């Protein structure tokens, strides 16, 4: 079989990424330039700054991905780029760059949905490791922008079965961390501190969903945290943590612990516990409705240690797949993996294809 190499570009949010993926499963290179230090001081992604940073990073990142993979443009079978969903100014940078490369080299262009990329991060690793994901699968895509449940069938067919009615789970992590002075992104910090608190200390109520019982909601938990904070005098501890953030790029667990009383650690542990409960209860119920043969969890929040442990501890009657952390958060290898079946189907994109901020997968 002829080796098929795809150059993939991802720029939908705050990472500029490029990768070369062979035959949909071998990552020859994967380069990710993160903008965390740019956005960290604002407590979230600032779209105008993101576009500017992408513009600065795109050429060197793509060049490095090709160099590390020892690949020239003429060795490529396709150039893939994320077309949506995401920040339109950010998407435009990667997509336009991919279009120009494709135009100049004559290598065909493939447009990939970012969420499909997250799902393929898992499919890629499972195939590579010789334990391919059995279909139908239920995919829980859970990140800063998305919390969705999809049925995944043969031939890359997807059906949306549930979604968040308000915040995405990662967004809830980020907002709670910001409120308490833990900086951005909040998920990784809360994840590292949660084991030091009691997950049953603070009770969170779970929203009963009118309509689709498989939809998620996180805004109630966020409000509960806000009320908890307002009912106490936490100004001094929050100010101390904000000062630490300004001084240190990525504080250590010990540095955070020194500035965080037990009550606050209990709150973090309980909040994380509640988010995990919401995610896994609805995902497991949803998997039953489609007789799923596997559960895929992907997206930035899939890095969460507590989520991984609880998913394993549930003893579900089908395998649960998580990507390795580097493939859970935004990267371009997942875009290259998702582009591979499109290349086989010759599903190429025209040069007038537009970036779509709200592109749906199904
Ligand atoms: O997939 P991703 O890199 O970007 C989006 O497509 O949104 O996900 C980023 C999100 C952020 O909200 C971040 O706080 C969250 O994933 N995240 C985590 C963890 N690592 C990243 N949330 C919980 N626990 C983690 N370990
Ligand atoms: Zn993502």
Model pTM score:
0.95
Domains of the chain: total: 2
Contact 273, 200 (CB under 8 A): yes
Report d(CA 145, CA 15) in Å as an integer.
13
Provide φ and ψ at 97, rounded to 5°: -65, -45
Ligand 1 centroid from CA 264, angstroms: 21
Largest CA distance in the chain: 66
From CA 362, how far away is CA 230, in angstroms rounded? 40
Nearest CA to ligand 1 atom 10: 144
Q: Are residues 69 and 162 in the same domain?
A: no
Mean of the pLDDT values across residues 136-162? 97
Range of the domain at 332: 5-124+327-344
Tens digits of per-residue pLDDT, 178-214? 999 999 899 999 999 999 999 999 999 888 888 899 9
143 and 266 housed in the same domain = yes
CA distance 65 to 49: 23
Closest among 115, 153, 149, 117 to 133, alpha carbons compared:
153
Distance CA 333, CA 347 (A): 19
Does 351 fall in a domain?
Answer: no
Same domain, 77 and 139: no
pLDDT, averaged across the chain = 96
Same domain for 285 and 340?
no
pLDDT at 115 over 70: yes
Q: Which of 300, 318, 336 is the last residue of a domain?
A: 318
Name the pLDDT band for 40 (thresholds 50, 70, 90).
confident
The CATH number of the domain holding residue 24 is 3.30.420.40
Q: Are residues 103 and 208 in the same domain?
A: no
Same domain, 339 and 271: no
Within-domain flag for 111: yes
Q: How far is ligand 2, taken at its centre, from the CA of residue 10, in Å?
A: 10
151 and 110, same domain (yes or no): no
Task: Looking at the structure, tell me whether residues 162 and 308 fall in a common domain.
Answer: yes
Q: Are residues 120 and 256 in the same domain?
A: no
**Residue 185 alpha carbon, nearest atom of ligand 1:** 14
Task: Give residue ranges with CB within 6 A of ligand 1.
Answer: 13, 143-145, 170-171, 173-174, 185-188, 191, 299-301, 303-304, 329-330
Q: Do 142 and 260 sit in the same domain of this protein?
A: yes
pLDDT at 45 over 70: yes
């Amino acid at each position: 079989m002829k080796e098929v190499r795809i150059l993939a570009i991802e720029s939908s949010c705050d990472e500029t990424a490029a990768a070369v993926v062979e035959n949909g499963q071998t990552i020859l290179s994967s380069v990710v330039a993160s903008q965390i230090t740019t956005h960290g001081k604002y407590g979230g992604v600032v779209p105008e700054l993101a576009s500017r940073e992408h513009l600065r990073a795109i050429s060197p990142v793509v060049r490095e991905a090709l160099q590390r993979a020892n690949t020239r443009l003429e060795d490529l079978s396709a150039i893939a780029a994320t077309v949506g969903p995401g920040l339109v100014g950010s998407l435009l940078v990667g997509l336009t760059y991919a279009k120009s490369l494709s135009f100049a080299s004559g290598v065909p262009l493939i447009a990939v949905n970012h969420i499909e990329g997250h799902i393929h991060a898992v499919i890629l690793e499972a195939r590579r490791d010789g334990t391919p994901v059995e279909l139908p699968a239920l995919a829980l895509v859970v990140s800063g922008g998305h919390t969705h449940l999809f049925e995944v069938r043969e031939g890359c067919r997807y059906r949306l079965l549930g979604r968040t009615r308000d915040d995405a789970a990662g967004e809830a992590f980020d907002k709670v961390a910001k409120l308490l002075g833990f900086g951005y992104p909040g998920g990784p910090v809360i994840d590292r501190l949660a084991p030091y608190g009691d997950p049953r200390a603070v009770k969170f109520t779970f929203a009963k969903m009118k309509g689709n019982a498989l939809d998620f909601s996180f805004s109630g938990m966020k409000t509960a945290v806000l009320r908890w904070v307002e009912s106490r005098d936490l100004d001094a501890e929050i100010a101390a943590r904000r000062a630490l953030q300004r001084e240190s790029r990525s504080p250590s667990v010990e540095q955070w612990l020194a500035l965080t009383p037990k009550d606050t650690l209990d709150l973090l542990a309980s909040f994380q516990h509640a988010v995990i409960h919401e995610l896994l209860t609805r995902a497991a119920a949803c998997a039953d409705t489609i007789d799923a043969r596997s559960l895929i969890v992907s997206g930035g929040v899939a890095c969460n240690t507590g989520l991984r442990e609880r998913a394993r501890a549930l003893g579900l009657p089908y395998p649960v797949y998580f990507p390795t952390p580097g493939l859970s958060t935004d990267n371009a290898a997942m875009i290259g993996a998702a582009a591979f079946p499109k290349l086989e189907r010759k599903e190429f994109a025209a040069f007038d294809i537009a970036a779509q901020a709200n592109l749906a997968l199904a």
